[in-house]
């Protein structure tokens, strides 16, 4: 089974890696996905061999905490994040004010002295005041020490450990120097100048404050990556109106139950999926399917949760609530996709898990080397050692993939492209072969009138007759012209396997196949015979219509190609993809569809197991295959393909088997998905390059490799903490560029 958990205490990529590894090692756990952005974890485990308690204990043993995800409303979760960010902001403001005053007091007199102004401030009082100003900064940011040292003692050091070590060493060394100042200056009356130069209280305050500032900016930016989730959450109203004993009653969304009848008025958000019992609506489904125009829906039609009624009023019987509703399923899919990991991120994860211990080792080695190089100048050696601790940034590595995936999946959802996993993002970028199911994917999947040959003056009468039939072919006539003139139909007779006979105003109509026409000895002239043969050769269902024993028209009925299928297939070929058409229909029908769309490779009369075998053949030939389908018989093929893409109007089993769902049921969105995949993968690679490049360049620089004559380039802890914060922010801002993505056809 799958269980979602809230993880407490994660702050960087190494935290995420430690939690992931600890839970993965738990007996009975099949898979675990830890999300640093949402501080959540989804665990797939065997309930017979492990339990939530064991999983939580594994997280605790790694130095963190966890609890089963709270089943609270999505809006409440969002509000909690906002409150936590607001508290962090208040603490940050206090820290910044204290730090500014601290820097003025510690560095101001020195600057003035260089300008020829000597304030003659008592150094003991000055440094005492620095300690007082440092105290609120330490208290506000004390979580770095508690979390950092806890993780360090558990032998799972993280970014908090680096910050805590850097700040602690600065404070301890500064306190030691201050004590020596007092002892030598006040008691021994000796020279204290060597100790006044070793006071690093402002460095400790700067490290803590600037790292917190960076984390705050980073959190604000990462919150923007979840904007789509927030927008989707806002599509769930707090209060709704239902009919209770035929009286309107307002209830909370949490109290809505199956079979409740909700009342929808203009401007209302539809809170749950259901069937319209009465009235009509114009549903704005842009947020769910990406469809820009409102859709008219009447009695008997399905209403979708999260859509907005722009016009009309209706009552809707609820048949899906809570986690089963379309809106919540969409939110969960976007969340799960952001939790998942792209294969490209595995290298970063491996490095993150050993990154912090390596940095601590480099910091200690830097201190020892500089101690000898500088002839036991402890101040300089500590400076370099702390700079290494503070400048290293595991966060940039950890954020490189998830922020891009979160923005990408959100952008996809905005356009009606639901991408279920990070792996699908990366694999879609590599796809070279696309296999298309025919019915419901390329075509509408419904019988409709394709062409009428002959007279059409009496077609309203023909449709009036067809309205009395429940045959699937009759629906093609009714849908062709839903609103028409009413006629009084008499002598209606349905002849199974052949057609219909009926009369209107003493005119006798025969509507059916050639067998029914020939039985009634109706002549077929050469022109009609040729047109009939043409329709039959195309594989269309052909209906002949006679009036008063004279053949007046022939109607071609079939599954029509969607308006945008041809354009989509041309665009896919321009992108260099090989296109295959698979269909269970006969050779004639499949060949005609393939020719009309310009598809060279097609397979007709293919059964479900045959579709599966064709996909296997392509995969075994080293092709990266995307399968696009909509039916139950497509599910196995969708599952085995490198990337399975389901048409949104398809069956639930097809959608569940797919990696990507096209909510608008349009093949055009495949191009959008490929383009988005390309952008996201490039963004991830850019993020990873920056994260690796930053650490590879900045750590040696902080260690003092360029601190030699005549350049003497070095970074003090204050500059190092600024650089570390900027690296994470840069990665997040780079990912946010994906928000400007648009499909280009």
Residues 428 and 466 both lie in one domain: no
Beta-bridged to residue 510, according to DSSP, are 501, 546
For 637-656, what is the HEC assignment?
HHHHCCEEEEECCCCHHHHH
> 84 pLDDT exceeds 90?
no
- Residue 712: left if φ>0, alpha if ψ -120 to 50, beta else—which one? left
Structure tokens at 264: 């929808």
Model confidence at 345, pLDDT cuts 50, 70, 90, reads low
Model confidence at 736, pLDDT cuts 50, 70, 90, reads confident
Cβ contacts of 197 within 8 Å, gap of 6 or more: 379
Highest mean pLDDT (candidates 91-105, 326-340, 635-649): 91-105
Q: Which of 320, 342, 360 is the last residue of a domain?
A: 320
Q: Which residue has the higher pLDDT, 94 or 469?
A: 94
11 falls within a domain = yes
- Domain of 615, in residue numbers: 418-443+562-669
Residue 507 phi, psi (nearest 5): -90, 125
What whole-number distance in Å separates Cα of residue 474 and Cα of residue 454?
19
Question: Which of 289-298, 622-631, 713-722 shows the lowest mean pLDDT across its residues?
Answer: 289-298
Beta-bridged to residue 555, according to DSSP, are 452, 543
Residues 308 and 435 both lie in one domain: no
What whole-number distance in Å separates Cα of residue 265 and Cα of residue 241?
10
> 321 pLDDT exceeds 90?
no
398 falls within a domain = no
pLDDT at residue number 650: 47
Is residue 117 within a helix (H) or strand (E), and if so which, with residue range? none
CA dihedral 602, 604, 608, 613 (to 10 degrees): -50
220 falls within a domain = no
Beta-bridged to residue 66, according to DSSP, are 7
- Minimal CA–CA distance to 335: which of 418, 254, 398, 396? 418
Report whether the peptide linkage leading into residue 107 is cis, meaning its omega lies within 30 degrees of zero. no
Residues 536 and 608 both lie in one domain: no
Structure tokens at 14: 């190494």
Model confidence at 547, pLDDT cuts 50, 70, 90, reads very high
Q: What is the DSSP string of 289-336?
A: H---S-EEE-TTPEE-TT-EE-S--EEEEEEE-GGGSHHHHHHHHHHH
Provide the edge-to-edge strand list for the sheet that holds 281-284: 295-297, 281-284, 308-309
412 falls within a domain = no
Q: Which residue has the higher pLDDT, 200 or 306?
A: 306
Q: Which residue has the higher pLDDT, 455 or 318?
A: 318
CATH of the domain at 65: 3.30.70.100
pLDDT at residue number 687: 85
pLDDT tens digits, 282-300: 888 766 665 556 788 889 9
What whole-number distance in Å separates Cα of residue 371 and Cα of residue 368?
5
What whole-number distance in Å separates Cα of residue 397 and Cα of residue 688?
6
> 630 pLDDT exceeds 70?
yes
What whole-number distance in Å separates Cα of residue 544 and Cα of residue 557?
11
- Minimal CA–CA distance to 650: which of 637, 642, 640? 637
CATH of the domain at 639: 3.40.50.1000
CATH of the domain at 555: 3.40.1110.10
Highest mean pLDDT (candidates 60-74, 180-194, 361-375, 580-594): 361-375
Alpha helices by DSSP H, 584-627: 587-597, 608-620
Q: Which residue has the higher pLDDT, 440 or 500?
A: 500
What is the DSSP code (8-state) at residue 598?
Answer: T
> 74 pLDDT exceeds 60?
no
Q: Which of 513, 541, 561 is the last residue of a domain?
A: 561
Cβ contacts of 608 within 8 Å, gap of 6 or more: 584, 633, 634, 636, 637
Residue 230 phi, psi (nearest 5): -60, -45
**Mean pLDDT value across residues 235-250:** 88
Residue 6 phi, psi (nearest 5): -95, 125
> 390 pLDDT exceeds 90?
no
Residues 430 and 573 both lie in one domain: yes
Residue in 160, 268, 437, 585 annotated catalytic: 437
What is the DSSP code (8-state) at residue 70?
Answer: P
Report the share of the chain in percent with pLDDT over 90. 27
Structure tokens at 95: 């820290």
431 falls within a domain = yes
Q: Are 278 and 325 in contact (CB under 8 A)?
A: no
> 651 pLDDT exceeds 50?
no
Is residue 664 within a helix (H) or strand (E), and if so which, with residue range? none
Residues 431 and 450 both lie in one domain: no
* Helix 422-430 × helix 668-702 angle, to 10°: 110
Residues 424 and 483 both lie in one domain: no
Model confidence at 431, pLDDT cuts 50, 70, 90, reads very high
Residues 423 and 514 both lie in one domain: no
Helix (H, G, I), strand (E, B) or coil at 469: coil
Residue 564 is a catalytic residue:
no
Rg (CA), the chain: 35
| Alpha carbon 474 to chain centroid, angstroms | 43
Residues 549 and 589 both lie in one domain: no
315 falls within a domain = yes
Is residue 350 within a helix (H) or strand (E), and if so which, with residue range? helix 346-373
Residues 580 and 653 both lie in one domain: yes
pLDDT at residue number 279: 92
What whole-number distance in Å separates Cα of residue 348 and Cα of residue 624?
24
What whole-number distance in Å separates Cα of residue 163 and Cα of residue 721?
9
Beta-bridged to residue 543, according to DSSP, are 555
Q: Which of 512, 538, 561 is the last residue of a domain?
A: 561
**Mean pLDDT value across residues 389-400:** 74
Number of compact structural domains in the chain: 4
What whole-number distance in Å separates Cα of residue 540 and Cα of residue 534?
9
Residue 660: C-alpha distances to residues 145, 357, 417, 559 (Å): 43, 39, 7, 25
584 falls within a domain = yes
CATH of the domain at 283: 2.70.150.10
Residue 169 exposure: Cα atoms within 13 Å on the Cβ side: 24
Residues 431 and 572 both lie in one domain: yes
694 falls within a domain = no
Residue bearing tokens 């419904």 = 446
Provide the edge-to-edge strand list for the sheet that holds 261-264: 247-252, 239-244, 261-264, 314-320, 273-279, 302-303
| Rounded-to-5 percentages of helix, strand, coil across the chain | 55, 20, 25
Provide the edge-to-edge strand list for the sheet that holds 489-495: 443-454, 550-561, 541-547, 507-512, 499-504, 489-495
What is the b/e burial string over 155-182, where b = at least 16 CB atoms within 10 angstroms of the residue's CB? ebbbbbbbbbbbbbbbbebbeebbeebe
Residues 523 and 665 both lie in one domain: no
- Minimal CA–CA distance to 685: which of 337, 343, 219? 343
Residues recorded for the chain: 745
Is residue 550 within a helix (H) or strand (E), and if so which, with residue range? strand 550-561
Residues 570 and 522 both lie in one domain: no
């Amino acid at each position: 089974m799958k269980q979602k958990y809230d993880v407490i205490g994660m702050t960087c990529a190494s935290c995420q890696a430690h939690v992931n590894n600890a839970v993965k090692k738990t007996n009975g756990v099949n898979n675990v996905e830890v999300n640093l952005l949402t501080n959540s974890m989804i665990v797939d485990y065997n309930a017979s061999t492990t339990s939530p308690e064991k999983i939580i204990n594994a997280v605790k043993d790694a130095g963190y905490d966890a609890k089963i995800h709270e089943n609270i409303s999505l809006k409440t979760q969002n509000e909690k994040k906002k409150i936590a960010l607001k508290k962090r902001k208040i603490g940050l403001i206090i820290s910044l004010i204290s730090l500014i005053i601290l820097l003025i007091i510690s560095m101001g007199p020195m600057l003035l002295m260089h300008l020829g102004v000597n304030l003659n401030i008592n150094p003991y009082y000055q440094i005492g005041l620095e300690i007082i100003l440092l105290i609120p900064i330490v208290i506000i940011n004390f979580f770095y020490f508690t979390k950092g040292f806890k993780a360090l003692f558990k032998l799972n050091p993280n970014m908090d450990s680096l910050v805590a070590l850097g700040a602690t060493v600065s404070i301890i060394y500064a306190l030691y120097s201050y004590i020596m100042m007092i002892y030598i200056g006040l008691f021994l009356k000796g020279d204290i100048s060597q100790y006044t130069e070793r006071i690093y209280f402002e460095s400790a305050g700067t490290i803590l404050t600037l790292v917190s500032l960076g984390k705050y900016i980073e959190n604000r930016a990462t919150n923007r990556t979840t904007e789509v989730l927030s927008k989707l959450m806002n599509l769930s109203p707090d209060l709704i109106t239902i009919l209770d004993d035929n009286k309107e009653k307002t209830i909370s969304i949490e109290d809505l139950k199956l079979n409740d009848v909700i009342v929808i008025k203009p401007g209302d958000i539809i809170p749950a999926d259901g069937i319209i019992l009465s009235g009509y609506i114009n549903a704005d489904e842009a947020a769910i399917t990406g469809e820009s125009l409102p859709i008219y829906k009447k009695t008997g039609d399905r209403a979708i949760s999260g859509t907005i009624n722009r016009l009309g009023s209706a009552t809707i019987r609820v048949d899906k609530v809570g986690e089963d509703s379309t809106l919540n399923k969409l939110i969960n899919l976007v969340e799960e996709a952001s939790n998942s990991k792209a294969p490209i991120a595995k290298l970063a994860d491996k490095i993150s898990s050993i990154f912090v211990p390596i940095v601590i080792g480099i910091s200690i080695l830097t201190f020892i080397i500089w101690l000898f190089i500088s002839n036991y100048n402890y101040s300089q050696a500590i400076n370099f050692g702390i700079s290494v601790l503070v400048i290293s940034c595991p966060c940039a590595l950890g954020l490189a993939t998830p922020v891009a995936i979160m923005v990408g999946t959100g952008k996809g959802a905005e356009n009606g492209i639901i991408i279920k996993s990070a792996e699908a993002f990366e694999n879609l970028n590599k796809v070279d072969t696309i296999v298309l199911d025919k019915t419901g994917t390329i075509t509408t999947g419904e019988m409709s009138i394709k062409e009428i040959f002959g007279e059409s003056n009496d077609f309203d009468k023909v449709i009036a007759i067809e309205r009395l039939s429940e045959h699937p072919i009759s629906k093609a006539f009714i849908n062709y012209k839903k609103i028409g003139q009413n006629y009084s139909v008499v002598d209606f007779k349905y002849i199974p396997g052949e057609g219909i006979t009926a009369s209107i105003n003493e005119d006798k109509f025969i509507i059916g196949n050639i067998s029914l026409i020939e039985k009634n000895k109706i002549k077929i002239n050469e022109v009609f015979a040729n047109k009939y043969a043409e329709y039959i050769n195309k594989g269309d269902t052909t209906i002949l219509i006679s009036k008063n024993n004279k053949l007046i028209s022939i109607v071609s009925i079939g599954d029509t190609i969607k308006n945008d299928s041809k354009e989509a297939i041309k665009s896919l070929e321009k992108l260099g993809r090989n296109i295959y058409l698979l269909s269970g229909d006969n050779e004639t029908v499949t060949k005609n569809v393939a020719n009309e769309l310009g598809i060279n490779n097609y397979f007709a009369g293919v059964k479900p197991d045959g579709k599966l075998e064709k996909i296997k053949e392509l995969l075994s030939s080293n092709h990266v295959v995307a399968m696009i389908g909509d039916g139950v018989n497509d599910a196995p093929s969708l599952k085995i393909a490198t990337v399975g893409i389901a048409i949104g109007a398809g069956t639930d089993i097809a959608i569940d088997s797919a990696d990507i769902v096209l909510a608008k049921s349009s093949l055009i969105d495949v191009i959008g998905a490929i383009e988005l995949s390309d952008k996201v993968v490039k963004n991830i690679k850019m993020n990873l390059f920056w994260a690796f490049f930053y650490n590879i360049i900045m750590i040696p620089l902080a260690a003092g490799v360029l601190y030699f004559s005549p350049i003497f380039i070095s970074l003090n802890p204050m500059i190092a903490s600024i650089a570390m914060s900027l690296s994470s922010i840069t990665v997040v801002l780079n990912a946010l560029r994906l928000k400007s993505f648009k499909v280009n056809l």
